[in-house]
A and B are shown apart, each in its own frame.
Chain A
Amino acid sequence: MGARILGIELRRSVAMPAALVIAAVGVFVLFASNPPYRSWMELVVVQRDIMQLTWPLALAAGAWQGIRERRSRVEELIATTARPRPQRVLPVATAMAIAAVVAYLVMLAGGTGHLRHPDGYFPAGAVPLIALGALALVAAAWLGLAIGALLPSPLTAPMLVVIAFLGLAVVPPMLRDQDRGEPGAVLLLPFLQGPRDGGYELQVLSARANLSQALWLVAVAATGLALLAAARTATRVAALLPVLLGAAIAVPAMPRQLAAAWVADPRATEVVCTRDEPQVCIARMHSYALDELSGPARQALSVLAAKLPPAPTRVMLRTFGDGRDDGRPPADTLLAFVSPDDDVLARTPDDLVEIMLDGAGVPPCPNLPGASPGKVISGGSRPDAEARYLAARRAAGAWLLDRDPEPARAGEELDVTLARQALDALHALPADRQRARVAALRDAERTCAPGDRLDLLTGTSGTR
């Protein structure tokens, strides 16, 4: 093709300046419109989503480059040269494609500055999303080149930006169904809407959606390139063939509804554990927090071993919304809920130990008061049942750590005075009775046995 000519085009065409502008606009939008991304998947999907803006820009850059021969009035000179048009347009098309891919990757690299855990779980499903995003930009640049060559007016590029941007903003809402959401055909659009529930970390785009989209984008790119290379009307008409063929195959292959295109990523919720003993485990998508959490987790284990044998030998850390349901923990496992994004960042290791030892190292029961408000089913429905339940759990943790009960955390309906009173009552007992009471609470929590936990802990039965 002429590597030297490609070099000239890379230096002198609009390719690289356009790449710079597109990447800069993209990075700006990635930073400006969103809180820091919690996962790679969220960043990758949002980058596809903002192609509503970057795709029209790539289209316009192509068009601007496409009118160069007319703008520079070299058509007369070129008309007398030997090289056929398809060969002639190849270097500039290659330069624009390189620029589009560079722009997309630079944008992604810039976006990682707004990613909370760049060392976090990078799902394999992110790779096709990135590749298809870059491919969509290449298709935009080539289509733009062809349109610019066909309509060589200075207005072509600005008009294309406006038309494409408005088109992408208007079309998806028109296709949306009140009940079922968008049809799968919106996957033909160059931007990709994320899963409706926003659970980016848990989901990937199905292979079927990716493949049909890839086929469609290749067809669009092929039509753009063929239109650009076509010198005669007949060849231009033939150049529309790939895109028609692509649509004919891709549309039936797409899922009926967009929602069905998003499928669970089982690897994200798989548990990963520390290599060394005692084992500390967490869902893979939060594995970045394992280093920081394993210290406090092991400390919690040793506290339990010292004060409440027989103690668990491993720690299973759960996060809210990690899509798992482990049921009640076996006796050898300390199961604790932490929020890897808020707790780990905001709390000291000591606080984390305390969170893990709440309820003597057993997570709250989902059906007992305190765990899920409004679902009071057993153990007597005292109006302050939830506060009493939480106070008992808090007092047990404080007893294990031999410190004052921690005041209520955000959103917790805990009466810390109640917890303090329970702890005092517990301390008034002989040492072996104290241990027996806390062990009784732990056993009750493990099985979610009904009954008032505060009474169980302090030994008073019936009424207060």
Chain B
Amino acid sequence: MVRAVSAAETAATSYAWAIHAQALRVRAGRRMAVDGLDLSMDTGVHGLLGPNGAGKTTLVRSIATVLRPAGGTLTLLGEKVNGRIDLRGLRRQIGYLPQEFGYYRRFTVREFVEYIAWLKEMPAAETPGAVQRAIERVGLADRADDRMKTLSGGMVRRAGIAQAIVNDPRILLLDEPTAGLDPDQRLQFRALLRELGVDTCVLVCTHLVEDVAAACTDVTLIDAGRLVFQGLPTDLAAAASSDVGADTGAADSAAERGYSAILRRHRERES
């Protein structure tokens, strides 16, 4: 796959981590949803797991610069985002698929992706090619000129991924990207993830442990706004084998059993 390479990308990176959080605290409404999180991520596909209400979406929204941190530090691509700094340059290098992906129903897929590319301040000359490439990568080329409102749920999700990757982001945030995709589409999506992870810091927020096991180079597990586990997907599976006393069905995958084992042990320690 040929990919446009911008000057910013070929420049040597001056930072150690694409995403670096220290004692990060982020409010979601009144609740401190992320509460003292330490996290470091670089190029690769990072699966972000955690139970409902663990603070996954809040963490992703703060990395997307939608929410401002309430405490601690968050450093993205070497830039601290805590203070009142100009986020413009940073935002050009972020791709984001929100959990609730809204879109303009009357736009065609191509128009919508182009509109987002414009909002991300892509150079006008590169935009049409980048839009076509993004749409092809998510397998929507045959529907590129159809209105968004005519797409099925899975297609909308893929259009959402297309708009997130159109600017070849350094940080790509995907919140529940596989919701609504059928099994075949999920396989294709995992292949795309692996491809993107070669030169991008991809953060995939999901409930589906098997997606993480299959496509991620790295797994992060958080609970109650704190880091519980960070390691390889195989480490997750390994945690299952060392687990004793859990009643688990044989049909559950090793990764899933590992996930719940780590979570249970963490909660026991906390209480």
Contacts and interface: CB of A to CB of B under 8 A. Distances in A.
A68 to B, nearest CB: 7
20 contacts: A4-B118, A5-B114, A5-B115, A5-B118, A8-B107, A12-B107, A72-B104, A74-B104, A76-B98, A76-B102, A77-B98, A77-B102, A79-B65, A80-B64, A80-B94, A81-B121, A82-B92, A83-B118, A83-B119, A83-B121
Interface in A66-117: 68, 72-84, 88
Interface residues of B, number: 31
Most chain-B Cβ atoms within 10 A of its Cβ — which of A5, A74, A77? Answer: A77
Contacts of B143: none
Contacts of B94: 80
B190 interface: no
Interface string B155-189: 00000000100000000000000000000000000
Given A2-B124, A76-B98, A77-B116, A84 B88 contact: yes
Interface in A101-135: none
Interface string B54-78: 0000000100111000000000000
B104 A12 contact: yes
Contacts of A5: 114-115, 118
A78 B98 CA distance: 10
B91 A4 contact: no
Interface residues of A, number: 21
B66 A80 contact: yes
Given A77-B96, A82-B89, A8 B115 contact: yes
B105 interface: yes
Interface string B100-125: 11111111000100111011110010
A292 B121 CA distance: 64
B94 to A, nearest CB: 6
Interface of B: 61, 64-66, 87-89, 91-92, 94, 96, 98, 100-107, 111, 114-116, 118-121, 124, 127, 163
Contacts of A68: 104
Nearest 3 Cβ contacts at the A-B interface:
A73-B102, A81-B119, A82-B91
A95 B37 CA distance: 46
Contacts of B114: 4-5, 8
Contacts of A72: 102-105
Contacts of A12: 104, 106-107, 111
A200 B118 CA distance: 50
Nearest to B160: A77
A56 B101 CA distance: 33
Contacts of B88: 82, 84
B119 A8 contact: no
Nearest to B97: A77
B108 to A, nearest CB: 8
Contacts of B91: 80-82
Highest count of chain A CB atoms <10 Å: which of B87, B104, B163? B104
B124 A4 contact: yes
Contacts of B87: 82
A74 B127 CA distance: 21
A83 B121 CA distance: 6
Contacts of A77: 96, 98, 101-102, 116, 163
A81 B127 CA distance: 15
B102 to A, nearest CB: 3
Given A80-B66, A82-B88, A82-B92, A73 B119 contact: no
B255 to A, nearest CB: 30
Contacts of B119: 78, 81-83, 88
Nearest to A5: B118
Nearest to B93: A82
Contacts of A84: 88
